[in-house]
């Protein structure tokens, strides 16, 4: 497969996953306004999580609900907005139309046309965000259900898993940085609401409660970082990413033939043998910072190994 094709398939899935994550995050935060007091600003952390502080401040200034929703939904210059992500996903899919299925292309194009039309109307209701989440999930399901599970599918899956791991790490990190101090018992209910919102933002609340029942920060860190079965935990995403990278070249486990396989193997091994007590001892923020550095290095290794075109002499 041409590196150009692999690159486009990879980024098509990353952008679709990103749009879904942002839509879920904004929708969950919208529901939070019904439960939290007006003195708690839960919108500023969303800008921090998406890494668009400078652009947002230059364009909008104050992080009000309307400004943040607009920035994350329809801001064309924000690469993480829903509109920009869906547009980029369609552009990449269009460039490799002959390598994806008709059903995939139709769903991507249908979602692109919907978002473009709704952007002109300025729609931002809770139901609208639910429709975007469903539309993105349809693309992922159609990809898995209609595309042959060969090289192209492996790159689609790889892009989705790397984007998902990055999103989960960002959400968990921001939740710690912007937590409400537990100075008295009256603050505790709001803290629980915010922890539950974090779980909802990564579609983890129901599965977490089935496994751990009560919302306890240590257990949440364990579930979202180290759990091997939940499909949005960082550990699971890294395991799946390593499997997709190995599958492309047929590399046996416990060996590596390129830097990408080496990077993912090291990161997966680190998570295999990490306990939640070690994370707490190091500091959740510090651990996630180091983890994101490793994820970025693994992503760069994927680019260097599979996508970069060597310079000609």
Are 15 and 76 in a shared domain? yes
What would the mean pLDDT of 141-166 be, rounded to a whole number? 96
How many other CB atoms sit within 10 Å of the CB of residue 134? Answer: 12
Give the model's pLDDT for residue 39. Answer: 62
Are 128 and 211 in a shared domain? no
Q: By percentage, how much of the chain surpasses pLDDT 90?
A: 68
Domain span at 310: 149-313
Give the model's pLDDT for residue 45. Answer: 79
Are 192 and 211 in a shared domain? yes
Question: Which of 112, 147, 182 corresponds to the end of one domain?
Answer: 147
Are 183 and 248 in a shared domain? yes
Are 140 and 155 in a shared domain? no
CA distance 103 to 84: 22
Are 34 and 71 in a shared domain? yes
Are 56 and 91 in a shared domain? yes
Are 297 and 168 in a shared domain? yes
Question: Which of 104, 129, 147 corresponds to the end of one domain?
Answer: 147
When comparing pLDDT for 33 and 142, which is higher?
A: 142
Question: Which of 115, 147, 179 corresponds to the end of one domain?
Answer: 147
Q: pTM for the complete prediction?
A: 0.92
Q: What confidence tens digit (pLDDT) does each residue in 66-125 have?
A: 999 999 999 999 999 999 999 999 999 999 999 999 999 999 999 999 999 999 888 888
What would the mean pLDDT of 43-55 be, rounded to a whole number? 82
Are 177 and 65 in a shared domain? no
User: How many separate domains does the chain show?
Assistant: 2
């Amino acid at each position: 497969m041409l590196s150009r094709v692999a690159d486009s398939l990879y980024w098509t899935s990353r952008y679709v996953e990103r749009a879904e994550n942002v839509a879920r995050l904004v929708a969950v935060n919208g529901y939070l306004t019904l439960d939290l007091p007006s003195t708690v600003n839960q919108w500023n952390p969303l800008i921090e999580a998406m890494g668009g502080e400078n652009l947002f401040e230059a364009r909008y200034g104050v992080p009000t609900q309307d400004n943040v929703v607009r920035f994350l939904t329809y801001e064309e210059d924000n690469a993480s907005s829903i509109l920009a992500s869906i547009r980029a996903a369609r552009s990449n899919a269009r460039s490799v139309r002959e390598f994806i299925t008709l059903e995939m292309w139709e769903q991507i194009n249908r979602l692109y046309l919907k978002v473009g039309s709704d952007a002109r109307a300025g729609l931002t209701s809770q139901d609208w965000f639910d429709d975007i989440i469903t539309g993105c999930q349809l693309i992922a399901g159609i990809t898995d259900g209609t595309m042959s599970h060969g090289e192209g599918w492996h790159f689609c899956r790889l892009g989705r898993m790397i984007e998902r791991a990055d999103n989960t790490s960002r959400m968990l990190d921001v939740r710690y940085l912007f937590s409400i101090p537990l100075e008295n018992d009256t603050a505790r209910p709001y803290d629980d609401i915010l922890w539950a919102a974090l779980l909802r933002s990564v579609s983890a609340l129901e599965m977490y409660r089935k496994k751990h029942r009560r919302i306890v920060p240590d257990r949440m860190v364990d579930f979202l970082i180290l759990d091997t079965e939940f499909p949005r935990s960082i550990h699971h995403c890294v395991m799946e990413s390593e499997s997709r990278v190995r599958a492309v070249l047929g590399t046996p486990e416990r060996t590596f033939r390129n830097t990408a396989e080496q990077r993912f193997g090291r990161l997966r091994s680190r998570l295999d043998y990490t306990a939640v007590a070690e994370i707490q001892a190091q500091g959740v923020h510090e651990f996630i910072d180091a983890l994101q550095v490793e994820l970025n290095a693994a992503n760069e290794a994927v680019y260097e190994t599979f996508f970069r075109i060597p310079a000609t002499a």
